[in-house]
Amino acid sequence: MTIAPIFLRKLREMEPDSDFTSPKYGNTITSSSGAVYFCKKTTAASEQFTGEAESLRLMYDAAPGLCPKLFACGDDEESGETYFISEYLRLGHGLSDTAANTLAKRMAEELHKGTSETRKFGFGCPSYCGATRLNHGWFDTWEECYSSMIKELLDHLRDKSASRYSETLDLGEKLRERVIPALLNPLEIQPSLLHGDLWSGNVGVDTGTDEPVIFDPASFYGHNEADLAITRMFGGFPNTFYETYHEHFPKSQPEEQYQLRTELYEVFHYLNHTVLFGSGYEGQAQRLMKNLLKSVDPLQ
């Protein structure tokens, strides 16, 4: 398969004495040195590439080897395309207890200990959770940051059909007004670097090393517990993952509100799935929001 000129230029900068080949299908390019690269380019989704690249760069700096290493990402003036080049890893899916425990320990001790230079919450550029664009920006408190993230999803639903999603929009605004302050204002936490979309489909095991790898991030700096929420939603993570994680990164205080916070963070992903896939996930988002609104009344 003919290799795009932008990839050849960048790879030859990295490996001047190597030759490169690519299969007929797929996004991999193999060097005569034995290295394999994951390469993609676009004229339409440049901002999405940039967000993924910045996420990988920060994650790899915090926890080397826990995610693929980014080599290059940028805009090519000659072709008008945005390119992305990272390490290619051969991954198997399905976490054994051993791999899950390793992942939990590395997230707790390395990834989630990575914090923003400004000590603020949010992110310096837009990132994409699935196909949903999140503007981010920087916030002094996690309460403000998370409320803004929920507002963006509500705005997406409002743009799709304010009448169709009227009940969900109403519940979402009440969540922002009552639940988010009640549960997040009491927290005394530092911003943690998060993967942002850590469901089982974005986790694998390197077939060469048996080490866990996470990929396709939608990073931002937030409450570390928020990264655990989606792991509980679609399966794939054994109970030992959470036990090991909290051995190395204890639950935030007030600990008795841990389950409520988990449900609050799940709301984000159910709302996002409603944005992406429609009403199949809306009922679950509504159920969680109604339960949370009832649960926080005594806290008001």
The predicted structure's pLDDT at residue 93:
86
The predicted structure's pLDDT at residue 43:
84
Which pLDDT band holds residue 44 (cuts at 50, 70, 90)?
confident
Share of residues in the chain with pLDDT > 90 (%): 89
Find the mean pLDDT for residues 47-51: 92
Find the mean pLDDT for residues 60-79: 94
Q: 145 and 121 in contact (C-beta within 8 Å)?
A: yes
Share of residues in the chain with pLDDT > 70 (%): 98
Helix, coil or strand: residue 251: coil
Cα gap 149→167, rounded to integer Å: 19
The predicted structure's pLDDT at residue 299:
61
pLDDT in tens, 90-106: 999 889 999 999 999 99
Q: Which long-range contacts (CB under 8 A, 24 or more apart) does 177-182 make?
A: 178/293, 178/296, 178/300, 179/264, 179/289, 179/292, 179/293, 179/296, 180/143, 180/146, 180/147, 180/150, 180/264, 181/143, 182/296, 182/299, 182/300
The predicted structure's pLDDT at residue 272:
97
The predicted structure's pLDDT at residue 2:
85
Query: Which residue in 159, 197, 216, 227 is the catalytic one?
Result: 197
- Mean pLDDT (the chain) is 95
Q: List, in sequence order, every beta strand (DSSP E) within the chain.
A: 20-21, 28-31, 36-42, 70-76, 81-87, 91-92, 121-123, 127-129, 132-134, 137-139, 192-194, 203-206, 212-214, 220-222
- Residue 300, pLDDT above cutoff 60: no
**Domains along the sequence of the chain with CATH:** 5-87 (3.30.200.20), 92-296 (3.90.1200.10)
Torsional sign, CA 110, 223, 155, 126: negative
Listing from the earlier edge strand, what are the strands of the sheet with 137-139?
137-139, 121-123, 220-222, 192-194
Which pLDDT band holds residue 40 (cuts at 50, 70, 90)?
very high
The predicted structure's pLDDT at residue 25:
75
- Residue 131, pLDDT above cutoff 60: yes
pLDDT in tens, 156-215: 999 999 999 999 999 999 999 999 999 999 999 999 999 999 999 999 999 999 999 999
Query: Which residues partner with 122 through β-bridges?
Result: 138, 221
What letters, b where the CB count within 10 A reaches 16 and e where it falls short, cover 33-64? Answer: eebebbbbbeeebbebbbbbbbbbbbbbebbe
pLDDT in tens, 234-253: 888 999 999 999 999 999 99
Based on the residue annotation, tell me whether 197 is a catalytic residue of this protein.
yes
119: left (phi over 0), alpha (psi -120 to 50) or beta: left
